[in-house]
Amino acid sequence: MGSTRDPPVPVGDSPTGRSRRLLSKGPSLPPPGALPVPPGESPGGTGQWPVPELWIIRRARTSMKCSNHTQVDAVASCVFCGQGLCPSCITRSTSGRVVCSPRCAERATAIEIALETIRQKTLNGYRQVAYFLFAGAFVFNCFGVYEIIKALSTGTWVMALFLPGLGVVFIAAGTGMLRLAKSKT
């Protein structure tokens, strides 16, 4: 395709030649319950390559059945294993979630405890970061005051403005982290 001796690609043919192979097989037999979609000349009338014959398959609308009573429609599913449950098979875990058995209730409770532990550790991490930012702000502001006093005699104000500004940024970030930790509790 990159050489000048290559023959030109005919209009309406795909670069891979796949559409020609698909069309050469002839019309296919539809699956049961399928609706035909007539083949087109090209996608969107672009003249690129022909569209093979397609079939739309209708899916039967069936509802989930109870895993214990196969003739009864399920009204809920177990939060741990996902089995369908009818109203008579529904049990609740200690946290009130729908489960299918005591074993799934134990496992779901164990997962909830693990998630709560992770959440508490994350909140503690937010608090620790906030306190670290406050400590950094204190250090930057102390050095900033020193630089301001020094700048009054020397006239160099670059660090005298930079360090307290950085301290203010650290205070704002620490406050944001504390608010984030409080909003998640």
Indicate the SS3 state at residue 168. Answer: helix
Q: How confident is the model at residue 134 (pLDDT cuts 50, 70, 90)?
A: very high
Structure tokens at 100: 């299918």
Answer yes or no: is pLDDT of 22 > 50.
no
Q: Looking at residue 95, what is its pLDDT?
A: 86
Q: Which of 110, 113, 83, 79 shows the shortest CA–CA distance to 96?
A: 79
Answer yes or no: is pLDDT of 30 > 80.
no
**Quick check: 99 and 88 in contact, CB under 8 A?**
no
Q: In this predicted model, what pLDDT tens digit does every residue of 39-75 receive, in sequence order?
A: 555 445 555 555 455 444 455 556 789 989 989 889 9
Tell me the average pLDDT across 16-33: 52
Give start and end residues of each alpha helix (H) in the chain: 18-24, 102-154, 158-183
Amino acid identity for residue 94 in this structure: T
Q: Looking at residue 19, what is its pLDDT?
A: 47
Q: In this predicted model, what pLDDT tens digit does every residue of 66-111 receive, in sequence order?
A: 989 989 889 999 999 999 999 999 988 888 889 999 999 999 999 9
Average pLDDT, the chain: 79
Q: Which of 91, 82, 174, 64 shows the shortest CA–CA distance to 130?
A: 174
Q: Looking at residue 13, what is its pLDDT?
A: 47
